[in-house]
Amino acid sequence: MVDYGIILGLLGVASGAASLIYSRSQVVAARRQAEQATRATLLESNREISVRLQQIRSRFFKVPGIDDELKNSRPEIQEVVDSVGGGDVYGFFRDVIDTFEDIFVLRRSRIVTDEHWRVWTGSQMAVYAGLPRFQSVFKLATQRGCLVSGEPDRSRNTRDSWRKAGFNCTVPFVHHR
């Protein structure tokens, strides 16, 4: 004769094991969801900071006496500003570089897909990268260590990656932030 107590006990153990497995999968899913929420929050914060930086940069060269101040304290920046056609042009190209850098960081973080990276490097970046005034601003940014280092596909160094995207940089990237 079958002891129903043993059968019910075994069913209880099996049910408990299934519950443990299910709850573990729920914990893993909850952790992933939390990581995605954190990432989304970081992206939104970065976007807000980028907007504020662009607003500040757009007003920077309108500050009375800033040209003289730059000539005295950062002559290399003032030289590039003058050579590209003034503060508005310089600010525009810095905004372009910041946008490119954002997509670079998103690719390195594996948020941007290979397809989007190829579109950006092949069509968007290539247009600006060949412009001599853009190159002047880009070269200054690399010399001053203002760009993020790292490789989006993790297979080559940064300079090669950006060069492949059309940026003719001759100085190594250094990250000082």
Residue type, 107: R
Contact call for residues 98 and 105 (beta carbons, < 8 A): no
Residue ranges of alpha helices (H) inside 111-175 are 114-119, 125-129, 132-143, 158-164
In terms of Cβ atoms closer than 10 Å to its own Cβ (0-12, 13-18, 19+), residue 141 is: buried
Confidence of residue 79 (pLDDT cuts 50, 70, 90): very high
Q: Would you state the pLDDT for residue 92? A: 92
Q: Which residues have CB under 8 Å from 70's CB, separation 6+?
A: 77, 78, 81
Q: CB neighbours (10 Å) of residue 84? A: 22
| pLDDT score at 163 | 57
Residue 102 token pair: 């954002």
Residue 66 to residue 71: CA distance in whole angstroms: 8
pTM above 0.75, yes or no: no
Q: What integer best gives the mean pLDDT of the chain? A: 79
pLDDT tens digits, one per residue of 126-170: 888 889 999 999 888 888 777 765 544 444 444 555 555 545 444
pLDDT tens-digit readout, 93-129: 998 888 888 888 788 777 888 888 888 877 878 888 8
Q: Where are the domains of the chain?
A: 1-44, 61-177
Please, which residues have CB within 8 angstroms of residue 77's CB and are 6 or more apart in sequence?
70, 140
